[in-house]
Amino acid sequence: MKAILFLSLAFLKKRKRQTIVSTLGFAISVTAFIVMSSIMFGFQKYFIQQVIDIEAHISIKPKEEIAEDRLIRRVDNESLIKALGSRPKEKDKILGWRDIMKRLEEHPEILGVAPHLESKGILKYGAKEKPVSLIGIEPFLEARTSVIERFLEKKNLSSLETHKDSIIIGKIVARDLGITETGKRVVLTLPNGQTKIMKVVDFFNSGITNIDASRVYIPLKTLQALLERVDEVNVLIIRIRDVKRAEALARELRAEIKYEVESWQKAYLNFLKIFKIQNMITYMIVFAIITVSAFGIFNIIMMTVMEKRKEIAILMAMGYSSKDITLIFLCIGLITSVLGGLLGFIFAYGILEYLANLDLELEGLLKSKGFILDRSPYYYLLGFVLSFLFSLIASLYPAYRASKLNPVEIFRSL
């Protein structure tokens, strides 16, 4: 092993330019892997965490009407016209919600349940108008079922309890209306034409653009009164102990509850799918980079083997076995990737450090100050292992070729 290291290091040292180029190739791959993983997963994990904190882990709502279903059923019964005329619209409410809540709260995996009445509305401030998603909440119960207070700038959830005309509005709603501080009065208009002047008591800032740009909280009782839907709710939100169990638990609940039971994974399925595609594309790019550097090392080692036939022959004459020769060239590839990997760590650390301290406003799916990074050492390890494996694969064939050279043929050819 001593002899093998001695020779592979000599080859690496004396062929500096090649060594530097191939080391840089691996360094760039490892850097790309670490930086892209940190950015991508940083963003995705943050997004999911925010979603888990704000949104119901599981929500219960009235089933959506599927008109086609009914139509076809009636057509089968040869009474299409009647079917169209008499299609009953299921009421947008949960019957017996207090009983359901009580039952759910006894479930050992459920931490809390809260009622919602959700509706559309329009907020007006001065000349500006903005359509919003209205949620009527019981502040005390709400606090038990989501980490809503974490996102409130003034932590003033209790105002909703004490003042019937309190309203908490999303940060982007506020920005679009031109409201910069609490205490301002806005006009809320509901689908039934009712209007009410509300007082902004807090801002809601989750960072998730589509929530902050539409969501508005008001007291449940106020919304019920405005919509003339006394004691009605149309959503129950559930917080559970283990968020990963949401889908399994939702399935379990579906058996007992005749309403739609939806886990957060289902509700955010589109986002999760987009993340998957995003991950795939990113990794395809990273793999392309690693593949290029692997081809680089393949080429260099292959060339070295071809140029070094004489040296390989004399090493064999000295008693170096085929295995030794294989190992010498494998070591050349592997040492390159290890050096490249370590250099990549330094590059990646530097870039992430820079990105982490970057002061810029980003607004896409998420609104954030600077990049949200997941700076896990796991990505360093994985990037390192990947480039190591790729260089192993790339060096294997040339190393094997070197070991199969016949020294006599080489001695004769000179």
- Would you count residue 127 as binding other proteins (CB under 8 A)? no
- Would you count residue 400 as binding other proteins (CB under 8 A)? no
- Would you count residue 381 as binding other proteins (CB under 8 A)? no
- Would you count residue 2 as binding other proteins (CB under 8 A)? yes
Chosen residue from 122, 267, 314, 396 binding other proteins by CB under 8 A: 314
Stretch in the footprint of other proteins (CB under 8 A) among 2-10, 71-79, 90-98, 101-109: 2-10
- Would you count residue 315 as binding other proteins (CB under 8 A)? yes
Stretch in the footprint of other proteins (CB under 8 A) among 54-62, 204-212, 311-319, 367-375: 311-319
- Would you count residue 305 as binding other proteins (CB under 8 A)? no
Minimum distance from CB of 40 to other proteins (Å)? Answer: 42
How many amino acids of this chain bind other proteins (CB under 8 A)?
Answer: 28
CA dihedral 257, 259, 264, 267 (to 10 degrees): 160
Stretch in the footprint of other proteins (CB under 8 A) among 183-191, 251-259, 260-268, 307-315: 307-315
- Would you count residue 20 as binding other proteins (CB under 8 A)? no
- Would you count residue 322 as binding other proteins (CB under 8 A)? yes
Minimum distance from CB of 42 to other proteins (Å)? Answer: 45
Stretch in the footprint of other proteins (CB under 8 A) among 7-15, 84-92, 102-110, 335-343: 7-15
Minimum distance from CB of 19 to other proteins (Å)? Answer: 12
Minimum distance from CB of 11 to other proteins (Å)? Answer: 5
Chosen residue from 97, 151, 275, 320 binding other proteins by CB under 8 A: 320
Which region holds residue 319: left if phi is over 0, alpha if psi is between -120 and 50, else beta? left
Nearer to other proteins, 3 or 267 (CB): 3
Chosen residue from 92, 176, 324, 374 binding other proteins by CB under 8 A: 324
Chosen residue from 269, 318, 358, 381 binding other proteins by CB under 8 A: 318
- Would you count residue 319 as binding other proteins (CB under 8 A)? yes
Chosen residue from 13, 16, 17, 89 binding other proteins by CB under 8 A: 13
Q: Could you tell me how far CA 75 lies from the centroid of its own chain?
A: 45
Chosen residue from 81, 230, 277, 414 binding other proteins by CB under 8 A: 414
Nearer to other proteins, 15 or 116 (CB): 15
Three-class secondary structure assignment of the chain: CHHHHHHHHHHHHHCHHHHHHHHHHHHHHHHHHHHHHHHHHHHHHHHHHHHHHHCCCEEEECCCCCHHHHHHHHHHCCCHHHHHHHCCCCCCCCCCHHHHHHHHHCCCCEEEEEEEEEEEEEEEECCEEEEEEEEEECHHHHHHHCCHHHHECCCCCCHHHHCCCEEEEEHHHHHHHCCCCCCCEEEEECCCCCEEEEEEEEEECCCEHHHHCCEEEEEHHHHHHHCCCCCCCCEEEEEECCHHHHHHHHHHHHHHCCCEEEEHHHHCHHHHHHHHHHHHHHHHHHHHHHHHHHHHHHHHHHHHHHHCHHHHHHHHHCCCCHHHHHHHHHHHHHHHHHHHHHHHHHHHHHHHHHHHCCCCEEECCEEEECCCCCCCHHHHHHHHHHHHHHHHHHHHHHHHHHHCCCHHHHHHCC
- Would you count residue 3 as binding other proteins (CB under 8 A)? yes
Nearer to other proteins, 2 or 89 (CB): 2
Chosen residue from 134, 266, 321, 404 binding other proteins by CB under 8 A: 321
Q: For residues 303 and 402, is the Cβ–Cβ distance under 8 A? A: no
Spatial neighbors of 117 by CB under 8 A, at least 6 apart, are 135, 136, 220, 223, 224, 227, 229, 232, 233, 234, 235
Give the residue carrying structure tokens 């991508």.
Answer: 40
Nearer to other proteins, 19 or 395 (CB): 19
- Would you count residue 411 as binding other proteins (CB under 8 A)? yes
Minimum distance from CB of 207 to other proteins (Å)? Answer: 57
Minimum distance from CB of 323 to other proteins (Å)? Answer: 8
Spatial neighbors of 20 by CB under 8 A, at least 6 apart, are none
Q: Name the residues that contact other proteins, by CB under 8 A.
A: 2-3, 6-7, 10-11, 13-15, 310-311, 313-324, 407-408, 411-412, 414
